[in-house]
Copies of this chain bind each other. A is one copy, B any other.
Protein backbone atom coordinates (compact mmCIF):
# COMPACT_ATOMS: atom_id res chain seq x y z
CA UNK A 1 0.00 0.00 0.00
CA UNK A 2 2.64 2.47 1.07
CA UNK A 3 4.66 1.24 -1.90
CA UNK A 4 1.89 2.21 -4.34
CA UNK A 5 1.37 5.57 -2.66
CA UNK A 6 5.09 6.34 -3.02
CA UNK A 7 5.09 5.25 -6.62
CA UNK A 8 2.12 7.38 -7.57
CA UNK A 9 3.40 10.71 -6.31
CA UNK A 10 4.81 12.87 -9.11
CA UNK A 11 8.26 13.18 -7.59
CA UNK A 12 8.26 9.48 -6.66
CA UNK A 13 11.76 8.42 -7.63
CA UNK A 14 13.47 11.52 -6.26
CA UNK A 15 11.59 11.17 -2.98
CA UNK A 16 12.59 7.52 -2.78
CA UNK A 17 16.20 8.42 -3.60
CA UNK A 18 16.26 10.94 -0.74
CA UNK A 19 15.12 8.25 1.70
CA UNK A 20 17.69 5.88 0.22
CA UNK A 21 20.44 8.46 0.70
CA UNK A 22 19.69 8.81 4.39
CA UNK A 23 19.60 5.02 4.71
CA UNK A 24 22.88 4.72 2.79
CA UNK A 25 24.69 6.83 5.37
CA UNK A 26 23.65 4.34 8.07
CA UNK A 27 24.65 1.38 5.89
CA UNK A 28 28.04 2.95 5.16
CA UNK A 29 28.85 2.99 8.87
CA UNK A 30 27.44 -0.50 9.60
CA UNK A 31 29.92 -3.19 10.65
CA UNK A 32 30.27 -6.44 8.70
CA UNK A 33 28.60 -8.29 11.58
CA UNK A 34 25.47 -6.15 11.35
CA UNK A 35 25.29 -6.42 7.56
CA UNK A 36 25.78 -10.20 7.68
CA UNK A 37 23.07 -10.52 10.33
CA UNK A 38 20.73 -8.57 8.08
CA UNK A 39 21.52 -10.84 5.12
CA UNK A 40 20.72 -13.91 7.26
CA UNK A 41 17.42 -12.36 8.30
CA UNK A 42 16.61 -11.47 4.67
CA UNK A 43 17.32 -15.06 3.57
CA UNK A 44 15.15 -16.51 6.33
CA UNK A 45 12.36 -14.09 5.46
CA UNK A 46 12.31 -15.30 1.85
CA UNK A 47 12.13 -18.92 3.05
CA UNK A 48 9.23 -18.19 5.36
CA UNK A 49 7.18 -16.24 2.81
CA UNK A 50 7.21 -18.66 -0.11
CA UNK A 51 3.42 -18.81 -0.52
CA UNK A 52 3.02 -15.00 -0.71
CA UNK A 53 5.83 -14.76 -3.28
CA UNK A 54 4.38 -17.55 -5.42
CA UNK A 55 0.94 -15.95 -5.26
CA UNK A 56 2.28 -12.59 -6.49
CA UNK A 57 4.31 -14.36 -9.15
CA UNK A 58 1.19 -16.22 -10.32
CA UNK A 59 -0.53 -12.85 -10.81
CA UNK A 60 2.40 -11.60 -12.93
CA UNK A 61 2.34 -14.82 -14.96
CA UNK A 62 -1.40 -14.52 -15.63
CA UNK A 63 -0.89 -10.97 -16.90
CA UNK A 64 2.09 -12.01 -19.01
CA UNK A 65 0.31 -14.96 -20.60
CA UNK A 66 -2.31 -12.55 -21.92
CA UNK A 67 0.47 -10.63 -23.73
CA UNK A 68 3.01 -11.59 -26.36
CA UNK A 69 5.82 -12.79 -24.08
CA UNK A 70 7.93 -15.65 -25.48
CA UNK A 71 8.07 -19.00 -23.70
CA UNK A 72 11.70 -18.24 -22.73
CA UNK A 73 10.70 -14.92 -21.17
CA UNK A 74 7.80 -16.54 -19.33
CA UNK A 75 10.24 -19.09 -17.95
CA UNK A 76 12.55 -16.33 -16.71
CA UNK A 77 9.63 -14.65 -14.99
CA UNK A 78 8.40 -17.83 -13.27
CA UNK A 79 9.43 -18.50 -9.66
CA UNK A 80 9.18 -21.91 -8.02
CA UNK A 81 9.79 -23.05 -4.47
CA UNK A 82 13.23 -24.19 -5.65
CA UNK A 83 14.09 -20.85 -7.24
CA UNK A 84 13.05 -18.97 -4.10
CA UNK A 85 15.28 -21.29 -2.06
CA UNK A 86 18.12 -20.43 -4.45
CA UNK A 87 17.49 -16.71 -3.92
CA UNK A 88 17.72 -17.24 -0.15
CA UNK A 89 20.90 -19.30 -0.54
CA UNK A 90 22.39 -16.55 -2.70
CA UNK A 91 21.96 -14.13 0.21
CA UNK A 92 23.55 -16.65 2.61
CA UNK A 93 26.55 -17.05 0.30
CA UNK A 94 27.17 -13.31 0.54
CA UNK A 95 27.62 -13.70 4.30
CA UNK A 96 30.73 -15.79 3.68
CA UNK A 97 32.35 -13.19 1.40
CA UNK A 98 34.72 -10.58 2.87
CA UNK A 99 33.39 -7.07 3.40
CA UNK A 100 35.03 -4.76 0.82
CA UNK A 101 34.32 -1.65 2.94
CA UNK A 102 37.30 -0.46 4.97
CA UNK A 103 39.86 -2.31 2.86
CA UNK A 104 43.02 -0.22 2.57
CA UNK A 105 43.83 -0.21 -1.14
CA UNK A 106 47.16 1.53 -0.72
CA UNK A 107 48.97 3.55 1.88
CA UNK A 108 52.25 5.29 2.39
CA UNK A 109 54.02 7.90 4.46
CA UNK A 110 55.10 10.84 2.34
CA UNK A 111 58.57 12.40 2.71
CA UNK A 112 56.99 15.28 4.67
CA UNK A 113 55.52 12.83 7.20
CA UNK A 114 51.90 12.93 5.97
CA UNK A 115 50.31 9.50 6.15
CA UNK A 116 48.14 8.76 3.10
CA UNK A 117 45.77 5.79 2.98
CA UNK A 118 43.26 5.01 0.25
CA UNK A 119 40.30 3.22 1.83
CA UNK A 120 37.29 1.51 0.24
CA UNK A 121 33.93 3.11 1.04
CA UNK A 122 30.45 2.33 -0.35
CA UNK A 123 29.26 4.10 -3.50
CA UNK A 124 26.08 5.29 -1.73
CA UNK A 125 22.81 4.84 -3.63
CA UNK A 126 22.89 2.36 -6.51
CA UNK A 127 20.07 2.24 -9.06
CA UNK A 128 19.60 -1.07 -10.89
CA UNK A 129 17.41 -1.30 -13.98
CA UNK A 130 16.67 -4.86 -15.01
CA UNK A 131 14.34 -7.02 -17.02
CA UNK A 132 12.05 -9.96 -16.35
CA UNK A 133 13.94 -12.18 -13.86
CA UNK A 134 12.67 -11.54 -10.31
CA UNK A 135 15.61 -13.42 -8.76
CA UNK A 136 17.75 -10.39 -9.68
CA UNK A 137 15.76 -8.45 -7.09
CA UNK A 138 17.15 -10.49 -4.20
CA UNK A 139 20.65 -10.85 -5.69
CA UNK A 140 21.05 -7.13 -6.32
CA UNK A 141 19.61 -6.15 -2.94
CA UNK A 142 21.97 -8.55 -1.18
CA UNK A 143 25.08 -7.34 -3.03
CA UNK A 144 24.21 -3.72 -2.27
CA UNK A 145 23.64 -4.37 1.44
CA UNK A 146 26.85 -6.39 1.82
CA UNK A 147 28.82 -3.57 0.18
CA UNK A 148 27.17 -0.93 2.41
CA UNK A 149 25.01 0.66 -0.29
CA UNK A 150 21.31 1.43 -0.63
CA UNK A 151 19.53 -0.09 -3.66
CA UNK A 152 16.84 1.50 -5.81
CA UNK A 153 15.52 -1.43 -7.84
CA UNK A 154 13.67 -0.77 -11.07
CA UNK A 155 12.43 -4.13 -12.34
CA UNK A 156 10.20 -4.63 -15.35
CA UNK A 157 6.45 -4.04 -15.31
CA UNK A 158 5.90 -7.73 -16.10
CA UNK A 159 7.45 -8.75 -12.76
CA UNK A 160 6.06 -5.89 -10.72
CA UNK A 161 3.77 -7.86 -8.39
CA UNK A 162 6.51 -10.37 -7.61
CA UNK A 163 9.15 -7.69 -7.10
CA UNK A 164 6.84 -5.71 -4.86
CA UNK A 165 6.34 -8.62 -2.50
CA UNK A 166 10.01 -9.66 -2.54
CA UNK A 167 11.18 -6.11 -1.81
CA UNK A 168 8.61 -5.69 0.98
CA UNK A 169 9.88 -8.92 2.58
CA UNK A 170 13.57 -7.99 2.24
CA UNK A 171 13.05 -4.43 3.41
CA UNK A 172 11.09 -5.57 6.47
CA UNK A 173 13.79 -8.10 7.32
CA UNK A 174 16.45 -5.42 7.01
CA UNK A 175 14.49 -3.16 9.35
CA UNK A 176 13.90 -5.95 11.84
CA UNK A 177 17.66 -6.58 11.94
CA UNK A 178 18.14 -2.94 12.96
CA UNK A 179 19.25 -1.43 9.64
CA UNK A 180 17.05 1.05 7.74
CA UNK A 181 14.46 -0.69 5.54
CA UNK A 182 14.65 2.21 3.06
CA UNK A 183 18.02 0.86 1.93
CA UNK A 184 16.07 -1.54 -0.32
CA UNK A 185 13.31 0.10 -2.34
CA UNK A 186 11.40 -0.84 -5.45
CA UNK A 187 10.85 1.93 -7.98
CA UNK A 188 7.53 2.05 -9.84
CA UNK A 189 7.44 0.23 -13.17
CA UNK A 190 5.96 3.11 -15.19
CA UNK A 191 7.95 4.06 -18.28
CA UNK A 192 8.99 7.43 -16.84
CA UNK A 193 10.68 6.06 -13.74
CA UNK A 194 13.76 4.86 -15.62
CA UNK A 195 14.47 8.40 -16.84
CA UNK A 196 13.76 9.78 -13.35
CA UNK A 197 16.32 7.39 -11.89
CA UNK A 198 18.85 8.20 -14.60
CA UNK A 199 18.68 11.94 -14.02
CA UNK A 200 18.56 12.00 -10.22
CA UNK A 201 22.01 13.55 -10.10
CA UNK A 202 23.26 14.20 -6.59
CA UNK A 203 20.79 11.65 -5.20
CA UNK A 204 21.76 8.49 -7.05
CA UNK A 205 25.48 7.68 -7.30
CA UNK A 206 25.41 5.14 -10.13
CA UNK A 207 22.88 3.26 -12.26
CA UNK A 208 23.62 -0.26 -13.47
CA UNK A 209 21.40 -1.38 -16.34
CA UNK A 210 21.08 -5.15 -16.84
CA UNK A 211 19.46 -6.02 -20.12
CA UNK A 212 19.65 -5.99 -23.89
CA UNK A 213 21.33 -3.54 -26.25
CA UNK A 214 18.17 -1.40 -26.54
CA UNK A 215 17.99 -0.79 -22.79
CA UNK A 216 21.72 -0.03 -22.55
CA UNK A 217 21.51 2.42 -25.47
CA UNK A 218 18.54 4.23 -23.89
CA UNK A 219 20.30 4.40 -20.55
CA UNK A 220 23.60 5.86 -21.76
CA UNK A 221 21.89 8.46 -23.92
CA UNK A 222 19.52 9.55 -21.11
CA UNK A 223 21.64 9.37 -17.98
CA UNK A 224 23.29 12.30 -16.26
CA UNK A 225 24.02 9.97 -13.34
CA UNK A 226 27.14 7.81 -13.95
CA UNK A 227 26.35 4.43 -15.51
CA UNK A 228 28.04 1.03 -15.58
CA UNK A 229 27.02 -0.74 -18.79
CA UNK A 230 26.58 -4.48 -18.54
CA UNK A 231 25.52 -7.51 -20.30
CA UNK A 232 25.67 -7.13 -24.07
CA UNK A 233 27.87 -9.96 -25.29
CA UNK A 234 28.58 -10.44 -28.98
CA UNK A 235 31.33 -12.94 -28.14
CA UNK A 236 33.68 -14.51 -30.70
CA UNK A 237 35.66 -17.73 -30.90
CA UNK A 238 38.66 -17.63 -33.26
CA UNK A 239 40.06 -20.98 -34.33
CA UNK A 240 43.64 -20.39 -35.38
CA UNK A 241 45.63 -22.34 -37.99
CA UNK A 242 47.65 -23.84 -35.12
CA UNK A 243 44.58 -25.06 -33.20
CA UNK A 244 43.96 -28.57 -31.95
CA UNK A 245 40.73 -29.10 -33.88
CA UNK A 246 39.12 -31.47 -31.40
CA UNK A 247 39.76 -28.96 -28.62
CA UNK A 248 38.36 -26.25 -30.88
CA UNK A 249 35.22 -28.31 -31.54
CA UNK A 250 34.63 -28.88 -27.83
CA UNK A 251 35.17 -25.20 -26.99
CA UNK A 252 32.96 -23.88 -29.81
CA UNK A 253 30.20 -26.33 -28.96
CA UNK A 254 30.34 -25.42 -25.27
CA UNK A 255 30.55 -21.69 -25.91
CA UNK A 256 27.52 -21.76 -28.24
CA UNK A 257 25.23 -24.41 -26.82
CA UNK A 258 25.75 -24.86 -23.08
CA UNK A 259 23.48 -21.87 -22.32
CA UNK A 260 22.70 -19.84 -25.44
CA UNK A 261 20.59 -17.19 -23.67
CA UNK A 262 23.39 -15.68 -21.57
CA UNK A 263 25.80 -12.89 -22.42
CA UNK A 264 28.96 -15.02 -22.30
CA UNK A 265 27.65 -17.44 -24.94
CA UNK A 266 29.52 -17.24 -28.25
CA UNK A 267 27.71 -15.72 -31.23
CA UNK A 268 30.36 -15.74 -33.99
CA UNK A 269 32.94 -18.32 -35.01
CA UNK A 270 35.97 -17.18 -37.03
CA UNK A 271 38.12 -19.87 -38.66
CA UNK A 272 41.59 -19.44 -40.16
CA UNK A 273 41.51 -20.23 -43.88
CA UNK A 274 44.38 -22.70 -43.59
CA UNK A 275 42.30 -25.17 -41.57
CA UNK A 276 38.85 -24.21 -42.86
CA UNK A 277 38.52 -27.07 -45.29
CA UNK A 278 39.01 -29.56 -42.49
CA UNK A 279 37.38 -27.74 -39.59
CA UNK A 280 34.26 -26.18 -41.13
CA UNK A 281 32.62 -29.52 -42.07
CA UNK A 282 33.57 -30.95 -38.65
CA UNK A 283 32.20 -28.06 -36.58
CA UNK A 284 29.14 -27.63 -38.81
CA UNK A 285 28.17 -31.26 -38.16
CA UNK A 286 28.71 -30.86 -34.43
CA UNK A 287 26.80 -27.56 -34.14
CA UNK A 288 23.96 -28.61 -36.42
CA UNK A 289 23.73 -31.88 -34.47
CA UNK A 290 23.14 -29.74 -31.37
CA UNK A 291 20.38 -27.82 -33.15
CA UNK A 292 22.37 -24.72 -34.13
CA UNK A 293 21.47 -22.78 -37.29
CA UNK A 294 24.59 -21.54 -39.09
CA UNK A 295 24.82 -18.16 -40.83
CA UNK A 296 27.96 -18.24 -42.93
CA UNK A 297 29.91 -16.31 -45.52
CA UNK A 298 30.03 -17.80 -49.06
CA UNK A 299 33.25 -19.74 -48.33
CA UNK A 300 31.61 -21.40 -45.36
CA UNK A 301 28.55 -22.27 -47.45
CA UNK A 302 30.82 -24.08 -49.92
CA UNK A 303 32.25 -26.27 -47.14
CA UNK A 304 29.09 -27.19 -45.25
CA UNK A 305 25.43 -27.96 -45.88
CA UNK A 306 22.43 -25.88 -44.91
CA UNK A 307 24.27 -22.64 -44.18
CA UNK A 308 22.16 -19.48 -44.31
CA UNK A 309 23.93 -16.52 -45.91
CA UNK A 310 25.44 -14.20 -43.29
CA UNK A 311 24.78 -10.46 -43.60
CA UNK A 312 26.19 -7.55 -41.62
CA UNK A 313 23.21 -8.03 -39.35
CA UNK A 314 24.53 -11.47 -38.40
CA UNK A 315 28.02 -10.20 -37.57
CA UNK A 316 26.48 -7.51 -35.38
CA UNK A 317 23.85 -9.56 -33.56
CA UNK A 318 23.86 -11.03 -30.08
CA UNK A 319 21.52 -13.91 -31.02
CA UNK A 320 21.01 -15.33 -27.51
CA UNK A 321 19.64 -18.37 -29.35
CA UNK A 322 20.85 -21.49 -31.16
CA UNK A 323 22.21 -19.44 -34.07
CA UNK A 324 25.83 -18.82 -34.92
CA UNK A 325 27.53 -16.61 -37.49
CA UNK A 326 30.54 -18.29 -39.10
CA UNK A 327 33.28 -16.60 -41.09
CA UNK A 328 36.60 -17.60 -42.62
CA UNK A 329 39.53 -15.21 -42.12
CA UNK A 330 42.84 -15.04 -43.91
CA UNK A 331 44.90 -14.28 -40.83
CA UNK A 332 44.95 -13.61 -37.13
CA UNK A 333 45.00 -9.89 -37.95
CA UNK A 334 41.82 -10.26 -40.00
CA UNK A 335 40.16 -12.01 -37.04
CA UNK A 336 41.21 -9.20 -34.69
CA UNK A 337 39.98 -6.65 -37.23
CA UNK A 338 36.59 -8.39 -37.51
CA UNK A 339 36.22 -8.48 -33.72
CA UNK A 340 37.24 -4.86 -33.39
CA UNK A 341 34.56 -3.90 -35.95
CA UNK A 342 31.65 -6.04 -34.75
CA UNK A 343 32.36 -7.05 -31.15
CA UNK A 344 30.77 -5.60 -28.03
CA UNK A 345 33.91 -5.80 -25.88
CA UNK A 346 32.67 -8.65 -23.69
CA UNK A 347 34.65 -11.88 -24.26
CA UNK A 348 36.67 -13.27 -27.17
CA UNK A 349 38.36 -16.67 -27.28
CA UNK A 350 41.28 -18.01 -29.29
CA UNK A 351 41.98 -21.69 -29.79
CA UNK A 352 45.62 -22.13 -30.77
CA UNK A 353 48.82 -23.87 -29.78
CA UNK A 354 50.95 -21.05 -31.18
CA UNK A 355 52.41 -18.78 -28.52
CA UNK A 356 52.88 -15.95 -31.00
CA UNK A 357 49.30 -16.22 -32.26
CA UNK A 358 48.01 -16.21 -28.67
CA UNK A 359 50.17 -13.19 -27.86
CA UNK A 360 48.95 -11.33 -30.93
CA UNK A 361 45.32 -12.08 -30.16
CA UNK A 362 45.56 -11.04 -26.50
CA UNK A 363 47.31 -7.80 -27.46
CA UNK A 364 44.99 -7.12 -30.39
CA UNK A 365 41.49 -7.56 -29.03
CA UNK A 366 40.13 -4.93 -26.68
CA UNK A 367 37.54 -6.72 -24.55
CA UNK A 368 36.70 -7.26 -20.89
CA UNK A 369 37.99 -10.82 -21.11
CA UNK A 370 40.14 -12.86 -23.48
CA UNK A 371 40.00 -16.65 -23.27
CA UNK A 372 42.96 -18.70 -24.41
CA UNK A 373 42.01 -22.31 -25.16
CA UNK A 374 38.93 -22.01 -22.97
CA UNK A 375 35.22 -21.42 -23.52
CA UNK A 376 33.79 -17.88 -23.48
CA UNK A 377 31.34 -19.16 -20.84
CA UNK A 378 33.99 -18.73 -18.12
CA UNK A 379 33.53 -14.95 -17.95
CA UNK A 380 31.43 -15.06 -14.82
CA UNK A 381 31.82 -13.73 -11.29
CA UNK A 382 31.33 -17.05 -9.59
CA UNK A 383 33.62 -18.89 -12.06
CA UNK A 384 36.31 -16.25 -11.38
CA UNK A 385 35.95 -16.90 -7.66
CA UNK A 386 34.34 -13.52 -6.85
CA UNK A 387 31.43 -15.35 -5.23
CA UNK A 388 28.67 -13.22 -6.70
CA UNK A 389 28.21 -10.63 -9.40
CA UNK A 390 25.71 -7.92 -10.24
CA UNK A 391 26.49 -8.14 -13.95
CA UNK A 392 29.39 -8.12 -16.39
CA UNK A 393 30.65 -4.66 -17.30
CA UNK A 394 31.48 -4.10 -20.95
CA UNK A 395 32.63 -0.54 -20.39
CA UNK A 396 36.15 0.55 -19.66
CA UNK A 397 35.55 2.98 -16.81
CA UNK A 398 35.42 1.90 -13.17
CA UNK A 399 35.18 -1.84 -13.67
CA UNK A 400 35.45 -4.16 -16.65
CA UNK A 401 34.26 -7.75 -16.56
CA UNK A 402 32.33 -9.38 -13.70
CA UNK A 403 31.16 -6.84 -11.09
CA UNK A 404 31.72 -8.28 -7.63
CA UNK A 405 31.53 -6.61 -4.23
CA UNK A 406 34.69 -4.45 -4.51
CA UNK A 407 33.30 -3.00 -7.77
CA UNK A 408 30.31 -1.67 -5.78
CA UNK A 409 32.62 0.58 -3.77
CA UNK A 410 34.68 3.71 -4.31
CA UNK A 411 37.60 5.00 -2.25
CA UNK A 412 38.52 7.93 -0.04
CA UNK A 413 42.00 9.23 0.62
CA UNK A 414 42.50 9.77 4.33
CA UNK A 415 45.52 12.00 4.93
CA UNK A 416 46.80 12.43 8.47
CA UNK A 417 49.23 15.11 9.52
CA UNK A 418 50.25 17.05 12.60
CA UNK A 419 49.61 20.58 11.45
CA UNK A 420 51.00 20.16 7.92
CA UNK A 421 50.74 23.12 5.57
CA UNK A 422 52.08 23.74 2.06
| Residues of A bordering B, CB below 8 Å | 25, 28-29, 108, 110, 114, 116, 118, 121, 123-124, 201, 205-206, 220-221, 224, 226-228, 244, 247, 250-251, 253-255, 258, 340, 362-363, 366-375, 377-379, 383-385, 395-398, 400-401, 410-422
A413: which B residues are within 8 A, CB to CB? 368-370, 379, 384, 400-401
Contact status A369-B412, CB under 8 Å: yes
Contact status B251-A419, CB under 8 Å: yes
Contact status A422-B254, CB under 8 Å: yes
A363: which B residues are within 8 A, CB to CB? 28-29
A123: which B residues are within 8 A, CB to CB? 396-397
Contact status B417-A226, CB under 8 Å: no
CB distance from A318 to the nearest CB of B (A): 16
Contact status A378-B422, CB under 8 Å: yes
A421 touches which one: B29, B372, B375, B398 (CB < 8 A)?
Answer: B375
CB distance from A219 to the nearest CB of B (A): 10
Contact status B422-A226, CB under 8 Å: no
For A373, the closest partner residue in chain B by CB is B417
Contact status B114-A416, CB under 8 Å: no
Additional A-B contact list (18), CB under 8 Å, known A123-B397, A250-B419: A25-B340, A25-B366, A28-B366, A29-B363, A114-B374, A116-B385, A118-B401, A221-B224, A367-B412, A368-B413, A369-B414, A373-B420, A378-B420, A384-B413, A396-B410, A397-B397, A400-B412, A400-B413
Known contacts A220-B201, A254-B421, A258-B422; A121/B366 CB under 8 A: yes
Cα A411 to Cα B402 with chains together (Å): 12
A374: which B residues are within 8 A, CB to CB? 114, 415-417, 419-421
A116 touches which one: B29, B384, B397, B422 (CB < 8 A)?
Answer: B384
Cα A373 to Cα B123 with chains together (Å): 26
Cα A368 to Cα B119 with chains together (Å): 10
A416: which B residues are within 8 A, CB to CB? 372-374
Contact status B400-A398, CB under 8 Å: no
CB distance from A218 to the nearest CB of B (A): 11
Contact status B228-A397, CB under 8 Å: yes
Contact status B385-A110, CB under 8 Å: yes
Number of this chain's copies in the complex: 2
List 10 tightest A-B contacts by C-beta distance, closest first: A374-B417, A254-B421, A396-B410, A374-B420, A247-B419, A398-B398, A369-B413, A372-B416, A397-B398, A377-B422
A121: which B residues are within 8 A, CB to CB? 366
29 interchain pairs, CB-CB under 8 A: A28-B363, A29-B363, A110-B384, A116-B385, A124-B396, A221-B224, A226-B226, A228-B397, A251-B421, A254-B422, A258-B422, A362-B412, A362-B414, A368-B413, A369-B413, A370-B412, A370-B414, A372-B416, A373-B419, A374-B421, A375-B422, A377-B421, A378-B417, A378-B420, A379-B413, A396-B410, A397-B397, A400-B411, A401-B413
A379: which B residues are within 8 A, CB to CB? 413, 415
For A250, the closest partner residue in chain B by CB is B421
A398: which B residues are within 8 A, CB to CB? 397-398
Contact status B397-A410, CB under 8 Å: yes
Cα A157 to Cα B123 with chains together (Å): 37
CB distance from A401 to the nearest CB of B (A): 5
For A116, the closest partner residue in chain B by CB is B384
Cα A362 to Cα B117 with chains together (Å): 12
Cα A418 to Cα B353 with chains together (Å): 9
Cα A373 to Cα B417 with chains together (Å): 5
Contact status B247-A366, CB under 8 Å: no
Contact status A220-B224, CB under 8 Å: yes
Cα A416 to Cα B251 with chains together (Å): 13
Known contacts A110-B385, A362-B414; A420/B370 CB under 8 A: no
A108: which B residues are within 8 A, CB to CB? 385
